[in-house]
Amino acid sequence: WPRRQSLTDDGKMVGDFHRRYILVTDTFFLLSLGNQLSSLDGVPVAVKDNFCTTRISSSCGSAILKDFTSPYDATVVHLLRKARAVVMGKTNLDEFGMGSANIYSTFGPVYNPHDLGKGQGLGSPSERRVAGGSSGGSAAAVASGMCFAALGSDTGGSVRLPASYCGIVGFKPSYGRCSRWGLIAYANSLDTVGLLARTVRDAEIVYDIISEHDDRDPTSMPIDIRKHVDAITPGFESITGDLEDLTGLRIGIPQEYFVSELAPAIVQLWRDGIAHLRDRGATIVPVSMPNTRHALSAYYVLASAEASSNLARFDGLRYGHRSDKGSFKNDTLPYADTRTEGFGPEVRRRIILGTYVLTAGSYKNYFLQAQKVRRLVQEDFDHVFLFPNPVHHHPLPTDTSSGVHVLLTPAAISTAPKLQDCFPSADETSNAKNPVDAYVGDVMTVPASLAGIPAIVVPFGASPLDGYPIGLQLMAQYGDERTLLRVAATLE
Ligand code: GLN
């Protein structure tokens, strides 16, 4: 047992939980005691409920899949089980991953575990904060010590935003590093498997286990490309070999991330982060990424378009909920009723938006424009990074004298908002929030998703105003997880 407990700073809690869990439900693991198969052997991990799992249902937080249990495990779940990690349960999420506050789940919202530490117990219901979304359940489970780490999915920031709100690490590897087979698709050109853990090292342990090529995912990075990518991004090593020494490392600060919506406490923490890295010898370089300001709108056009297509499969015929209003006998098919009953308001909003931008009349003005913006955002990143993009067929000329290893930005524009402030107003004429206002919360995280590059959020302090945690985000060139994780660890 001590070996396993030593995996976390606060291993005891995890160890105790694990012991109880193992005796009740997974007794066969006892047979393997003494035979450590991996660094996750016997370690409890949670899995977001949009990954397919046998034995436990996979609902995607949606009424349409409430009672659905998959006949197979997602590849990443299979890899965890193969490493003898204990999948201790599935976690709540915004329906199909669509949301930033984990308020759009048929099972209700996820609360921020930091509410408990505020001296007033759980506080009054009106004061409660969100855990962030869409991987809010995974973030809350890790932040409250229920498990060692959790799988999330990150399409536009869904592990990074909850990590910032809950004060833990949220890691989105490069697109293609971890198999998406068995991850129920939201927007497949953006979906990545994400990780939540309490430390960078813990996230890396899980990443090493689940980052493998998989033939069943056509977008999984092939083995030869992995080798090529690893060779072309040699990572950063300081001359002294001291992990805290960042002499020679170049960190870019993109000016366009300094948006008017940033809370003053976040700006201050960003400055503190810059000073922290400069004190360790890093060179700070202001950089410009002019297309960042279009990234958010392009993301919501593309993500909704892909979602409208992906979610067409939920018709009530093959699996999941089926409305009993329609009957096949008198020629009324149950599609519309099934989908009206099964999908919540945010999912319906995205399906309508996505269908609209794909119609003949608006395709050119919205969908194609958004694809072009996506390419421009990718090129912005390629212009500032020191290493060339290893999967670009024609790498853009990079000025190696000014290129940076990583970029540092805030992870979110504020600390975790109050739950009541996240619900859109029913009265559309009032000045209160409309659902689209919430989309601005993703402004720091969507550019890395559009570019498919790795990004990580590390907790870096708390707001002096409300005491809730704040994280900083690091981004690196496609495939350069090594540098990213190395620098992230110095922020802890
Ligand atoms: N908040 C973003 C959205 O709703 C991102 C969600 C995600 O990464 N799954 O699309």
DSSP state of 46: E
pLDDT at 430: 58
Q: Please give the pLDDT value at position 178.
A: 98
In contact, 207 and 173? CB cutoff 8 Å: yes
Residue 33 has what pLDDT?
A: 58
Please compute, for residue 193, the number of CA atoms within 13 A of its CA located in the half-sphere on the CB side.
29
Surface-to-core class of residue 218, CB atoms within 10 Å of its CB (0-12 exposed, 13-18 middle, 19+ buried): exposed
Mean pLDDT by 10 residues, the chain (492 residues): 35 42 47 72 96 96 95 98 95 98 96 78 76 97 97 98 98 98 98 98 97 98 93 80 91 97 97 98 97 97 98 91 74 83 96 97 97 97 93 60 92 95 68 77 97 98 95 97 96 96
Q: Does residue 158 line the site of ligand 1, with CB under 6 A?
A: yes
Q: Examine residue 134 and say whether the peptide bond preceding it is cis (omega within 30 degrees of 0).
A: yes
CA 169 to chain centroid: 10
**Of 134, 439, 457, which is best to mutate to test ligand 1, by the most ligand atoms within 8 angstroms of its C-beta?**
134
Q: Which residues does 177 contact at the CB level (< 8 Å), separation at least 6? A: 192, 193, 211, 221, 454, 479, 481
Please tell me the predicted confidence (pLDDT) of residue 192: 98
Q: Is 187 in the pocket of ligand 1 (CB under 6 A)?
A: no
Instruction: Report which protein residue has its CA nearest ligand 1's atom 5.
Output: 156
pLDDT number for residue 64: 97
Which of 186, 190, 422 for mutating ligand 1's site (highest number of atoms within 8 Å of CB)? 186
Whether the predicted model's global pTM rises above the 0.95 cut: no
ipTM, interface predicted TM-score of the complex: 0.98
Q: Set out the domains of the chain in order of their start, with CATH numbers.
A: 2-228 (3.90.1300.10)
Model pLDDT, residue 10? 39
Asked whether 304 lines ligand 1 (CB < 6 A), one says no
Confidence at residue 4, expressed as pLDDT on a 0 to 100 scale: 35
Question: Residue 240: its pLDDT value, please?
Answer: 83
- What pLDDT does 325 receive? 80
Output phi, psi for 94, to 5 deg. Answer: -65, 140
- pLDDT at residue number 394: 52
Catalytic residue ranges:
48, 134, 158
Give the separation between CA 229 and CA 474, rounded to whole angstroms: 19
CB 239 within 8 A of CB 249: no
Q: Is 150 in the pocket of ligand 1 (CB under 6 A)?
A: no
324 CA → ligand 1 middle, Å: 32
Ligand 1 atom nearest residue 155's Cα: 8
Residue 170 Cβ contacting ligand 1 at under 6 Å: no
In 3D space, the residue among 163, 137, 100 whose CA is nearest the CA of residue 460 turns out to be: 163
